[in-house]
Structures are given as C-alpha cells and as structure tokens.
Structure 1
Amino acid sequence: MKHVRVIALRRGAAAALAAGLLGLAGAAGADPAPKPRPPEIERARAEPAVVRVQGDTVYYTGNLSKASSAAFDAAVARVSRGQITRLVISSGGGDTVEGRHVGRWVRDMALVVEVDVICFSSCADYVFPAGRAPLIRANAFVGWHGNERQFDVLAARADVSVEDQLAAVVPADVSPGPRAAFVQEALRSIAVTRKDEAEFYGSLGLNDAFAVCGVGDVLERRPGCTGQQG
C-alpha cells in the first residue's frame, strides 16, 4: 500500500521503567501541558481497548493491557478458527505480555493483520508479525522502539552490565535501598519476559532483529541517526 511509513522512534523503553519510580523520586516540577493528540491517536490509546467482532473481522482499537486483554477475550470468546479472517488494529502499544497474549491468538487463528492508523511498540513487536499476512493501510504506520532484549543491547553498547544499565535509568535522587530493589525486581522480570518473548518469536519462525532495531548499532549507521538509541 502506498504512503506507508515504517518508523523507529527515538524513545527508549528505559524511560518507561524509570517512570515507575517517579513517586519515589519526590515531587518534581510539572511538565508543560502536552499538545492535544489527533482523535484517531487518542482512540488508539484507549484503556481498555474497544474490541468488537463484525462479520469475519475483529476490530481492536486501544492500548494493550490486562484490562484490554479482558475486553479482547470477552469479545472473541465464541470465535472459532475459520470464522474470522482478519484483525484490524489501531494501537499505540502497551504491556509486552499482553501484546504477546493477543499475538498468540492471532497466530493460532491464522489471521491477516491489518493496521489502521497506528501499530506501535508492543503492537508492532507482537501483534503485527503474528498474522499470516501483514497489511498496512494507506497513511497508517508501524513503529518499533525496542523489545524485551533491548537492555542487553543498550548494556553492550555502553560496555556495562545489564544491572548497571538498569540502575542508570533510576532518577538520581532515589535512595540506594529502593534503587537496588528496583534493579533486582527488573532483572527478575526481564529474565521471565525475555524467555517468553523468545518462545513467542520461535513459534513464528522469527528472530527479534526487527523489534530491537530501534536501539541497536544498525540504527546509528543510518544517515542522521548517530547517537540515537531508539
């Protein structure tokens, strides 16, 4: 389809992990009010997602999360293989585990995945490649900025351990105890999710190079991308 834009954005998911510690970091100055997003992008961030079955198509609009998975499971509970032929999705991404939950269902149902407006982050990592055929509508885009393995890539780039890489994303004013607890919990979580992700990609016959492309050295070799990490 024409006018397709497949992009790797600059934002690293390290910031997402650090965001969970903002409460521990103490009060901070308020950020300037963000610019309003286009309504179609706001719909792609809906929490929980809006999921419906119409004819031979499942329509999924919104975030990937536990609440969205509950809405998804309820909508497709009576759907059997062969009844549905495609998933039309518009999603800004979200939880990686829930992204693989939807991706596994798409894989098992052998659906065409059709992107309407946006499929970013966990949607691009796990739902988009899970279908038997991926389609991107005109003026829609698919965007990657890393996956479960990205902290290994970032640590290797910096020639540090993954533990040190994780510690570096914690706000500087977090005390040593909460900092160490965060790092250890993150290491345990990453070990589990990285294994789950590897098994998921293995079931699709894929490696994760396409998903981690936004944080690796390959990105830096592209014109204008020196110094970028996703």
Structure 2
Amino acid sequence: MVNIINLTAFSIFIFSPNVTEYVSYKEFIEKFGEEGFNLIRQAERNHTQNYSIKPEENSLIVVGDITQSMYKDILNHVINNDIKRIIITSPGGDIDAGISIGYLIYKHKLDIEIIDYCISSCANYLFTAAINKTIRDGAAVIWHGNTQQKDFREFDLCGRTVSSLDGLPIDDEEIAELSSPEGQHEWRTRQKREHDFYQLIGVNDYIARVGQEPKNYGDFTMPVKYMQQFGVTNIYAPKNYAEADYCESFNKLNPSIALSCISVSETHFEYENERKMFGERCAHDGTLIINKNSDDLPIRSR
C-alpha cells in the first residue's frame, strides 16, 4: 500500500509505516507506474489551498498558497494601510493571482523579504516586481517555469501529452480543458498577461526557464549576479547565496525540495535567442527543437 502523506510543489511520500522517503514526481511514477500517477493526481485534487496574512507595523507577513483570495486580502491591506514591505514564505500557486499581486507590488513600490522559500508564482511575479528584494540567510527564491515553459509549448504546438521536463502525462480531463476553444483562449490570455507584466517591470521571463532549457535542473535558483542579467536588481542576499554549499545546506533543511543552484552563461542566452530567431519544430516524439540548419518550416514559439 502506497500513501502520499504530503503534496505541494514538491512531493513527500511514505512507503511503509516507519519510513518516509522524499522523491520527485518522475521518480515516484517510475517506481509505482500508473498507480503512482493516479495517486499524484488524486492528491492534487484533494489539496486544499490555504494562507495567512498578518500585518506588523508597515509590513505584511504572508505565508501559504497564492490564490485570488490572497490577492484580494493583500490589496485591501495595501489600500487601507501604510504597507511598505511583504515578508513571505510561499510554495507558489495560481498564476493569475500571482501576476495580480505582482502588479500590485510594482504599482505601490513595495519591498519583499523572503523567509524560508518563495517558489514558482511567488518567484516569477512577486519577487521580480518588488523594489528592494531581501533573501534571508537560509532562504531561497526558486523557479521552475512559467507559461512559456517547454512542455507547455510542446502540448500547444506539437500535441505532446507527456511532459519532457518531469515525465508526467497530462490527464484526460486537463487535455480536454486545454484543447477546448474556451481553454485555449484562457491560456492565450494568461500568456499575454504574463508577457505584458514582464515587459512592464523590465524583466526577461527566461529567468523562470533558464534552469529548464536547454538543460532541465528541476527546481532551481541562481546567484545574485546572474539574476541581475535578467533585469532583477536591488537584491540583498547572503554572500554565498546559491553557491553549492548554500544549496546543500538548504536541501538538508528542506528534504522534500531538491533545489539546484545553477550558473548562467552566454550559452543559455544564445540558446534562447536562437529559439526566438529560428523558431521551433516538432521532432518525431513531439518534443520541440530549434529549427536552425533545417529546411523544414519553423513553428514559431508563442
């Protein structure tokens, strides 16, 4: 009998009454096959999003999942109080809500301070939008993609229904939703909204995907000097932030998070520039490859 005892952006699984083991989604599916996939999907459906917001002087202490309700609560506090800073721990959450909070942070010129972790939508939209950004010692800002990530493009452009990043298949219900005219319109609207957001704040959205393509590291962060190359500035972090020893210590304290500390080189930017310049085409297995040196007509990234 396999039981999932916790499921967030990362997975914690128990394999026997006395042993808890932390593995990735891909490793879990490889170990338990279809049963593992079904358990993950069931856990995702059963997950209850929750958060808390506590005002403290001119700050908001925010903990939990990013939701539309969180956005409305933060908006209410910012409008009615002299809020200067958001202090947050979050595993991420809803994309649209994250973008809305990002716009709010940018408009009101708020600072952000990260306790423990700021993952996914929190990293993509809240952290990048803040004026001054503080990462406390032992904490991490963690990216793992955005609306333009490769497996989303592969489904959209090639019809691939298994992620080339984590090996997870898309379930039938989600495929039907994403394939419907309404679902496609909603996704296009979300992609444009994200694009416009990054344009406004002056940040290159590749920051959320550089650890996925051309090589996938899973959940990743990077030293401050590399964040600055994407337009993310005014960052205050420990001197050794995102060095190998920092990630090692972080992962020991957070065993369910397999965080990779990556370096960013010119090779990464060359890849992204070529992808945009030459476009992409579908390989035989439905993965996208850059159309460079090919006579085939390109499929432009959207």
TM range (shorter): 0.5 to 0.7
Any residues of structure 2 matched to 1:1-230 within 5 Å, and which? 30=39, 47-79=49-81, 83-150=82-149, 153-154=150-151, 162=157, 164-166=159-161, 169-171=169-171, 174=172, 179-184=175-180, 185-219=182-216
User: Could you tell me how far 1:49 is from its partner in structure 2?
Assistant: 2.0
User: Could you tell me how far 1:193 is from its partner in structure 2?
Assistant: 0.6
How many equivalent pairs are there? Answer: 178
Task: Between the two structures, name the one with larger relative contact order (CA 8 Å, sep ≥ 6).
Answer: 1
List alignment gaps of at least 5 residues for structure 2: 1-8, 12-24, 26-33, 164-168, 218-259, 263-302
SS at match of 1:76: helix
For 1:41, the equivalent position in structure 2 comes to: none
**Within 1, Cα distance between the matches of 2:133 and 2:97?**
19
**Within 2, Cα distance between the matches of 1:186 and 1:163?**
17
**Within 2, Cα distance between the matches of 1:204 and 1:100?**
11
Equivalent pair of 1:64/1:93 in contact (CA under 8 Å): yes
Q: Deviations over 1:124-144 (max 9, x none)?
A: 000001111211000011111
TM-score, normalised to structure 2's length? Answer: 0.50
SS at match of 2:103: helix
CA RMSD of aligned residues (A): 3.5
User: Could you tell me how far 1:164 is from its partner in structure 2?
Assistant: 0.4
**Within 2, Cα distance between the matches of 1:212 and 1:10?**
18
Equivalent pair of 1:148/1:194 in contact (CA under 8 Å): yes
Q: Which has the higher strand share?
A: 2
SS at match of 1:206: coil
One-letter amino acid matched to 2:65: N
Identity within the alignment, %: 23
One-letter amino acid matched to 1:146: G
Distance 1:46 1:52, change over 3 A: farther
Distance 1:29 1:130, change over 3 A: closer
Equivalent pair of 2:115/2:135 in contact (CA under 8 Å): yes
